[in-house]
Structure 1
Amino acid sequence: MTARKLSISVPPEVEATIKEAAAEEGKPVSAWLAEAAVEKAHAAALHAAGRAAARELVAEYETEHGSLPEESRSRARQFLIEAGLLDEEPWPAAG
């Protein structure tokens, strides 16, 4: 696998944290950052897939049973926000 060089800018305290973490794991900073980026990208993909699955489940339910009551939608949305599975973005209206 060929490696590509990237340049990033971070505040000094973040630089120190990165260097300390890489040293603790016995890795070069570039390898540590590459692994962190892959982990972050993977987590973002899982998050997006989870949100898509939740929307699909709601759509399937609503197709079979009609629109969810607003109170249920609000409770479900609050749960997903508290679980870290949904951002504070507005949810599309029912129907």
Structure 2
Amino acid sequence: MTARKLSISVPPEVEETIKAAAAEEGKPVSAWLAEAAVEKARIAALHAAGRAAARELVAEYESEHGKLPEESRQRAREFLLEAGLLDDEPWRAAG
């Protein structure tokens, strides 16, 4: 695999955290950061797929039964926020 250089800037405390975590796993910092980035991207993709599936389910429900009650929407928002699957601001802007 060809590796490419990438320059990043982080606060000193983040640098120390990264170096310590890489050392704990016995990996070079660059390898540790690459793995962390891949994992972050994988999780973001899963969350995006889950949000898309949820929107599809709501649309299907609403096409058959009418608009989902606001109380149910609010409970769903609260659950997703508590589960860490939803960022409050984009949801407010969208809905």
Do Structure 1 and Structure 2 share a fold, with TM-score over 0.5? Answer: yes
- What is the identity percentage for the equivalent residue pairs of Structure 1 and Structure 2? 84
- Moved >6 Å (runs of 4+): none
Structure 1 residues 91 and 54 mapped into 2: Cα distance closer, same or farther (>3 Å)?
Answer: farther
Give the equivalent residue in structure 2 for 1:69: 69
Tell me the CA shift for residue 21 of structure 1.
0.8
Q: How many residues matched?
A: 93
- TM (norm. structure 2) is 0.91
2:6 alignment partner, SS class: coil
CA RMSD, 1 decimal: 1.3
Q: Give TM-score scaled by structure 1 length.
A: 0.91
- 1:50 aligns with 50
Q: How far off its partner does 1:91 sit?
A: 6.2
Greater fraction helix: 2
Structure 1, unpaired ranges of 5+: none
Q: Distance in 1 between matches of 2:80 and 2:28?
A: 37
Letter in 2 for 1:14: V
